[in-house]
Amino acid sequence: MTYADQWRALASRIRGLAQAGHLHAQFLAVRSSDAYRRGQRLHEQGESILVAIQAFRAAFAKSLPPAALSAIDRFVAQSGSVLTVKRDGTRDEMQERESAAVVLLAALETEMSFLLSDVQESIRARSERAFVHLQRSLIVDMTLRDRWLTAFEAGEVACEKLGAVHLLLHGIWAFKVDAAGARTDLVFQEPLDPGAGVERSADGLVLTEWKKADNGNDAAQKFKQARFQASRYTQGALAGIELTGSRYLVVVSRVSVSVPADINEGGVVYRHINVPVEADVPSRARR
């Protein structure tokens, strides 16, 4: 489950609590008593949601956009005491605290839903799906495997061309970086023209660096080379469809190689992907 999926569930809980809080306020406007402890129930639910929000942050700390992490941290710092304080004080004070908790949660839901609804997560999910699709297709599709084996023997450029075409099937226009740090089209090996129809034919523009590893021993070095090249990228986003928070370092090998952990530098995540053209199914590979 992605953080977007998890947040939608949390947001639904918060909106439900806000609706309950609104009903509670309407009842209080007619009759100030709370004999059935509606306010206490609102407070308990708010405290439970606070715990869920903190767990959400911990679970997705490495993948959430920085702005979303900051929003959660501000919320916890500003409203944690309101949501967790003991139920003491006058009736008016408790009612004020209950209302404040619901309003603060509703405000967080609005901000987070906006921050997580942009195109970045959609582009990232499409990119991840495209690579998983390629890896699995190479296991079951012999015709595709033969095509990739031919490209592997031909060299790095042939591999990145095949890879770019595969990603485009998933709505991803992949590019690499030239010596000057500018975009280069993977298929034509020329500077990427902003008017080349990227926006009309793709959902996202993604930086990828493809390397060929002849064996497992040089795969680590190939990943380092790819990260060095990707780090030289200096141009900004293209019309809002460019994936700015992630860059993909892809090493094509004959068999599976060890993949380093992802690296976060300056808010940019460098994803390490291995595409083994003769990979076996995992259960056989372990035997």
Tell me: the pLDDT tens digits for 111-164? 998 888 767 778 888 999 999 999 999 999 999 999 999 999 999 999 999 999
Same domain, 152 and 168: yes
pLDDT tens, 251-276?
999 999 999 999 999 888 999 999 99
Whether 154 and 105 share a structural domain: no
Q: What angle do CA 138, 254, 249 make, to 5 degrees?
A: 80
- Predicted confidence at residue 67, as pLDDT, reads 83
287 falls in which pLDDT band (50, 70, 90)? very low
Domain boundary among 99, 115, 131: 115
In a shared domain, residues 103 and 240: no
> Is 143 found in the same domain as 182?
yes
- Give the span between the Cα atoms of 136 and 129, in whole angstroms: 11
Domain boundary among 70, 100, 115: 115
Classify residue 177 by burial, with Cβ atoms within 10 Å: 0-12, 13-18, 19+. buried
Mean residue pLDDT of the chain comes to 84
Last residue of a domain, one of 115, 150, 179: 115
Res 31 pLDDT > 70: no
Q: 194 and 157 share a domain?
A: yes
Indicate the number of domains in the chain.
2
Are residue 9 and residue 26 in the same domain, yes or no?
yes
CB 280 within 8 A of CB 254: no
Same-domain status, 67 and 146? no
99 and 239 share a domain?
no
Query: Can you read off the two tokens belonging to residue 182?
Result: 């500018």
101 and 185: one domain?
A: no
Q: Are residues 99 and 146 located together in one domain of the fold? A: no
**Domain shared by 88 and 10, yes or no:** yes
pLDDT of residue 89: 56
Report the pLDDT value the prediction gives residue 21, as an integer from 0 to 100.
77
Q: How many Å apart are CA 144 and CA 128, to the nearest integer?
A: 19
User: Could you give the count of Cα atoms lying within 13 Å of 159 in the half-sphere of its Cβ?
Assistant: 24
pLDDT tops 80 at residue 209: yes
Most confident of 5-9, 118-122, 179-183, 218-222: 218-222
For the purposes of burial, counting CB atoms within 10 Å of the CB of 169, is it exposed (0-12), middle (13-18) or buried (19 or more)?
exposed
Which of 33-47, 97-111, 181-195 has the least mean pLDDT? 33-47
What pLDDT is stored for residue 101 in this prediction? 77
pLDDT value for 79: 76
DSSP code per residue over the chain? --HHHHHHHHHHHHHHHHHHHHHHHHHHHH----TT-HHHHHHHHHHHHHHHHHHHHHHTTTTS-HHHHHHHHHHHHHHHHHHHS-S-S-HHHHHHHHHHHHHHHHHHHHHHHHHTSSHHHHHHHHHHHHHHHHHHHHHH-HHHHHHHHHHHHH-HHHHHHHHHHHHHHTTEEEEEE-TTS-EEETTT-SBPPTTSSHHHH-SEEEEEEEEEESSGGGHHHHHHHHHHHHTT-----STT-B--SEEEEEEEESS----PPPEEETTEEEEEEEEETTPPPHHHHH-
Q: Is the pLDDT of residue 47 over 50?
A: yes
Residues 82 and 168 in one domain: no
Residue with the bigger pLDDT between 204 and 92: it is 204
Query: Which domain, by its residues, includes 244?
Result: 119-286
